[in-house]
């Protein structure tokens, strides 16, 4: 029996302060940078943009996540956290999200 998963939400339907599952393509990635943490020390962060047939959303990857994807990758983000950042929605893996690369040509 195939494993069932929640259907992905379209980017145009994402709303801040909610958990979401999306399938999208990484269309842009900025260079990795380091930011100071409130608790001290530094953490890697990388910004990017995801796109599906309905729109685009900013993506933020933290720590070891910064190495998970390349531009052009199709990805499935499960239980990603959507928040409002400077008036626009942004998605990250948050505390419980997962990111999985999909095979090329797996259009959703």
Q: What is the pLDDT of residues 34-79, one digit of tens each?
A: 999 999 999 999 999 999 999 999 999 999 999 999 999 999 999 9
CATH number of the domain within which 32 lies: 2.40.50.140
Q: Is residue 72 a part of any domain in this protein?
A: yes
- Residue 99 neighbours by CB distance under 10 Å: 17
Q: How confident is the model over 5-21, as pLDDT tens digits? A: 557 899 999 999 999 99
Q: Is residue 5 a part of any domain in this protein?
A: no
For residue 24, is pLDDT > 70? yes
Contact 61, 92 (CB under 8 A): yes
Q: Is residue 98 a part of any domain in this protein?
A: yes
Joined tokens for residue 68: 């998970």
Q: What range defines the domain where residue 55 resides? A: 11-102
Q: Is residue 69 a part of any domain in this protein?
A: yes
For residue 106, is pLDDT > 70? no
Domain tally, the chain: 1
d(CA 33, CA 29): 12
Q: Is residue 60 a part of any domain in this protein?
A: yes
């Amino acid at each position: 029996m195939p494993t069932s998963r929640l259907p992905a939400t379209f980017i145009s339907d994402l709303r801040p302060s909610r958990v979401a599952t999306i399938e999208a393509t990484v269309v842009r990635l900025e260079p990795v940078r380091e930011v100071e943490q409130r608790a001290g020390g530094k953490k890697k962060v990388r910004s990017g943009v995801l796109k599906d047939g309905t729109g685009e959303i900013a993506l933020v990857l933290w720590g070891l996540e910064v190495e998970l994807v390349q531009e052009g990758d199709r990805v499935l983000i499960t239980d990603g956290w959507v928040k409002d950042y400077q008036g626009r929605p942004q998605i990250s893996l948050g505390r419980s999200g997962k990111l999985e690369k999909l095979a090329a040509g797996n259009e959703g």
